[in-house]
Structure 1
Amino acid sequence: MAAGETATETAAGLLATQCSRAFFDLVAQGGPIGVTMGRSYLGGIAIRVEFRGVPDSLAKSVYLEPADQVPMDPLDGVRYHHAGFGVPLVAFALPCSDRPICRLYPPEGVFRPVTMWLETPSDTGSHDDTPVLVLQNPVLRPEHVAGTNRYELAEDVSAPTAQLLERTRLKRLAWWGMIGGAEVGKRSGLFLLDDYDPNKTPIIMIHGVAGSPLIWARLSNAIMGDPELHRRYQIWHIVYQSNAPLLVERYRVQHYIDNAWSVLDPDGHAPARQGVVLIGHSMGGVIARLLCAQSTPEVWNAAFTEPMDSLHADATDLVTLKNVFQFKPYPGVDEIIFMAAPQRGSPSAEGLLGRLVGLLAWRHIEEMTGLMRIVAENPKAIQPALQSIFQTGHITSITSLRPDEPVTLADEKLMPAAGVRYDTIAGVLPGVKPPGDGYVPLSSALLPGSTTTLIVHSDHKVPNRPEAIAAVLKILREHDSSHDVVSNATP
């Protein structure tokens, strides 16, 4: 492989790759294999395993499976990969628990792309001739050097995501979460789809009611499959229990983001804190808008008739109430992409399903328990139109999406702060009256002041549409350019 002749170099690289795959298939016998850094035995053969640029999230022991054996069904058959030197594998590690960052990894485990090959020991003066099985990170280290020759590594960035999606239980848990199921609540938070990089711009994706990060599978795959975008961005997924009123959900999501930053960048100086992009689907889009907005007295006055300072209540309950109703634009965000977001509510929230969910979900909202205590101690401080539902606690994510809900009418006027660019993507189905995607009317999804607006032929699952994905990629590339201009102009 270090030969000076091109034909010899190419043939040697191909032969090394073929032999490496043959060895893997021999020891794996059709299944995954487990390896640990250092000396070990595979199929009775002594081997030394060497990690090169492999992220800390995988620790020192991983399970390996050929990337080409991972089905792409969860990603609609779209696989981003390219040929080259070495064997593309999926490296899987069980969830860790020994570091704070462990709680930012998915409970299913950590799945990352690696490229594998066999080579002879590099230390020619050593008497140890044990073959070396190399596992290299093809994203951070995309080449292997032999002599003066550089070999581009084979890579498959889609297989790890597909493996994660195959193992997750989120699809079933999301519906239970909407009606108060505890399992989604237990695993709520912000999760890293890729390893944290203090110099890469975060894209924080927020799902909607009864949703989960599964709605972002195809979009996430497309971003990670674009080498330039993957070099610039890191994807973070929010998981939240979508049963609570809108302002409570906004408070929860802010809490998850705050917790993530406290782990990833406790000093608050990472370049990644600037230029953050939010992408929200359905109610997640409304949450994204409110995360970038300044609360107003009108929002408080829509629910209460007296100032907060005059209320009599437990101090902890008052702190939660203040955090829910009084907020500022989240720092560092300068781009939002709304996808099928009911910015002015949805008539579907008034339908049979909406009423059924409202009846089931309210008993499982922790924040509402504190609000009910405040209402009990201050009955005259509540707006008459809301007294009955506040006293019983019958207010949920669904009720807060009703177009005539008083607090919703107030908070829908809250717009992203100056300097935050936002784009709107909405869906329309033929024959739907009023025009919309079957859940969100077009009149509710379109937001004045959007930098770009795209209407696609789609049901409510707008993030799955190829046209919508292409539009997001274009927006991200333009965001790259505008952010570079600002960064380069800063002394």
Structure 2
Amino acid sequence: MKFIHSCLFAGLMLGLASCAQYATVSERRPQFRPIRSTVGTLVKAEQAIAVGVAKERSHPRQALGDLLTAADEAAQQLEHNPRDAAARDAYNFAASRVFETIRRAKLDPWTQPLRVPAPGGDYLLTNRPPKQRVADPSLYDFTPADQFDVKGTYVTERTVKPGVGAPLVAVGKAPRRDAAQQFAPERTYYGITAVLHFEPGRDKTGARHVVVAFEDPLAVETTSLDGGIFPLAADFTVPLAVMLARENPKKLEIARVLWPERYAGTAHIVRLQAYDPNKTVVIVTHGLMDSPATWTPMINKLRGDPFIRAHYQFWFYSYPSGYPYPYSAAIMREQLDAAEKRFPLHKKIVLIGHSMGSLISRLMITDSGDKLWMGTFRKPPSQTHFSPHAQKMLEESLIFKHRPEVGRVIFISGPHQGSEMATGWVGRLASRLIKSPAMLMKIGGEVRNAMLQDSTILRLGSVPNSVDTLAPNNRFVKLINTVPLTPGIPYHSIMGDRGKGGNKDRTPPVSTDGVVPYWSSHLDGAQSELIVPSNHSAHQNPQAIAEVRRILRQNAGAAGNN
């Protein structure tokens, strides 16, 4: 009967995980709606767009020539009048259609120049030589962002920046072989903006050169065009939506809880953008039965703030959330060490954790000393007799120092004193379903053997998993709450309240987000604390996101912090 209940529970969890789509994307054919212009150059551009769009599928090379002509004419008009919105729109639309034509016709201007016939003479289309292998355009498929309609539970707002250029979604043609070494996603999904530069004059063959510059809107705010400086156009939402829709991270969220050992290789820190030593790193960490996808609403919103873009870069830490969280924290320390060797930090990092991610982040600003070890084994490490591997893992999980590179932490819906849901029937059943890794089971066996030989060691009923380490009566939860956070590192608390009322102490009914009560999320000494009207997903609440933005601006010293 227990097995049947477990199977039913697992099926229910998997079913719930598939109900809502984080993001859905569909492609459409954008329509160009020109302003009735009386400017000769712009009239020519608008006419060339109409001709090029009509030929796009039947005669792609001819269409490409018309679209380049349109962009050329619009660029000339922008040179004369940089504030001409109609010229800017015509330039951007034509540039976007250039990339769509290249994609549909499977043309290749990246490995060698592409000669394009045009009514006023041929163009020679090429690109600026990439400074790094990862920036080689031949490695990617480009789709104009304006061709996508996006929606979903994590994609409710489209964050764009007006300006010059064609916002594109760059998708890696193949998985990156160096992803782990570079702390990068296995497959690239990135938002870039293409700017077409028309060089003056013609070469010996009579062709006019068009050089494509790929600009990173997370790295630069402006671009040059025909001697003028313009804001760089960007779409920050579509690349995130395309990644969520194609990779479907939700499919592994339950699996990484139930069978963490199978997904040990998914425990890593990953950069979401090119590394910039002059920007502060923000590392976001998800909670139980979740994935980095959960941060999409926050990152999408924050990237719309030019101050945040100028001062911060976002990374995430992901892990199989079936692991006991002290072990996940030990892995994070190893990942931080490795990441900082590859990308030396010049500024103190900011950690943001949601739910169990808050607990992992908390351990990054804690000096445990031997308190956790002695509270468990009642004797120092030198007097315990475990195998070298078990000794190493136990010490890494129970004896640690705060991370000196961490300058600030934001806890969101953090169950610092546990959640009673972990001790209820749902939590107990979930705990039974989680298959502990063989390596942890072996260590647990060594601890139990030590108990039989030494009555002073506290008894261990079973190897704890993530759900167990969220229980208010869990030994580690009790012990860690006797260890103060390291002085001098500011931290902030954000928690949700469902609006049903309740007490902030343990007196029923209690204020809660439905999973974590206020008394568990609250931490004395927080530099700020904010309760937002939300369920447990407070990190996706608009007020919470605004508070994170305020804290980040404060951290970077923004005047007024607005």
Place the TM-score, normalised by the shorter chain, in its bin: 0.7 to 0.9
- 1:176 and 1:42 mapped to 2: Cα distance? 50
Unaligned segments of structure 1, at least 5 residues: 484-491
1:472 is aligned, of 543, 548, 559, to 548
1:64 is aligned, of 142, 145, 161, to 142
| Sequence identity (%) | 24
| 2:328 counterpart of 1:249 | yes
Residues 456 and 468, structure 1, Cα contact 8 Å, conserved in 2:
yes
**Bigger mean CA deviation after superposition, 119-128 or 335-344:** 119-128
CA 1:382–1:457: 2 relative to 1, 3 Å: farther
- 1:319 and 1:313 mapped to 2: Cα distance? 9
Aligned residue for 2:374?
Answer: 301
| 2:210 counterpart of 1:132 | yes
**Equivalent residues in 2 for 1:342-491, closer than 5 Å:** 342-364=415-437, 366-377=439-450, 379-381=452-454, 386-389=459-462, 393=463, 395-431=464-500, 433-481=509-557
- 1:472 and 1:365 mapped to 2: Cα distance? 39
Aligned residue for 2:391?
Answer: 318
Could you say what secondary structure the match of 1:386 adopts? coil
**Equivalent residues in 2 for 1:167-186, closer than 5 Å:** 167-182=246-261, 184-186=263-265
- 2:117 and 2:472 mapped to 1: Cα distance? 64
1:50 is aligned, of 114, 127, 148, to 127
CA 1:306–1:39: 2 relative to 1, 3 Å: same
Aligned residue for 2:96?
Answer: 21
**Residue identity opposite 1:174 in structure 2:** E
**Equivalent residues in 2 for 1:78-89, closer than 5 Å:** 78-89=157-168
Number of aligned positions between the proteins: 471
Residues 86 and 115, structure 1, Cα contact 8 Å, conserved in 2:
yes
Greater Cα radius of gyration, structure 1 or 2: 2
**Residue identity opposite 1:357 in structure 2:** A
Residues 173 and 181, structure 1, Cα contact 8 Å, conserved in 2:
no
CA 1:122–1:162: 2 relative to 1, 3 Å: farther
Deviation by residue 1:301-357 (Cα, 9 ceiling, x = unmatched): 221132211122222221121111110001211110000000101101012221122
**Bigger mean CA deviation after superposition, 249-258 or 16-25:** 16-25
**Residue identity opposite 1:468 in structure 2:** A
Aligned residue for 1:264?
Answer: 343
**Bigger mean CA deviation after superposition, 422-431 or 299-308:** 299-308
Aligned residue for 1:487?
Answer: none
- 2:83 and 2:553 mapped to 1: Cα distance? 40
Unaligned segments of structure 2, at least 5 residues: 1-74, 503-508
Aligned residue for 1:39?
Answer: 113
Question: When the two structures are superposed, what TM-score results if normalisation uses the length of structure 2?
Answer: 0.76
Could you say what secondary structure the match of 2:337 adopts? helix
**Residue identity opposite 2:470 in structure 1:** L
**Bigger mean CA deviation after superposition, 397-406 or 121-130:** 121-130
Aligned residue for 1:489?
Answer: none
Aligned residue for 2:312?
Answer: 233
Aligned residue for 2:275?
Answer: 196
Residues 174 and 184, structure 1, Cα contact 8 Å, conserved in 2:
no
- 1:369 and 1:291 mapped to 2: Cα distance? 26
**Equivalent residues in 2 for 1:74-113, closer than 5 Å:** 74=152, 75-94=154-173, 97=176, 99=178, 103-107=182-186, 109-113=187-191
**Residue identity opposite 2:290 in structure 1:** G
Deviation by residue 1:377-397 (Cα, 9 ceiling, x = unmatched): 5634476653322xxx2x111
CA 1:363–1:19: 2 relative to 1, 3 Å: closer
- 1:16 and 1:363 mapped to 2: Cα distance? 57
- 1:257 and 1:371 mapped to 2: Cα distance? 27
Aligned-pair CA distance for 1:292: 0.7
Could you say what secondary structure the match of 1:136 adopts? strand
- 1:463 and 1:126 mapped to 2: Cα distance? 59
| Higher RCO (CA 8 Å, separation ≥ 6 residues) | 1
Residues 120 and 132, structure 1, Cα contact 8 Å, conserved in 2:
yes
Aligned-pair CA distance for 1:33: 7.8
- 2:441 and 2:289 mapped to 1: Cα distance? 19
CA 1:5–1:33: 2 relative to 1, 3 Å: closer
Aligned-pair CA distance for 1:410: 0.6
Deviation by residue 1:23-50 (Cα, 9 ceiling, x = unmatched): 3444445x99876354247999985331
CA 1:24–1:246: 2 relative to 1, 3 Å: closer
- 2:386 and 2:256 mapped to 1: Cα distance? 29
**Residue identity opposite 1:413 in structure 2:** T
**Residue identity opposite 1:172 in structure 2:** K
Deviation by residue 1:58-94 (Cα, 9 ceiling, x = unmatched): 4342111111233332443212212322221111224
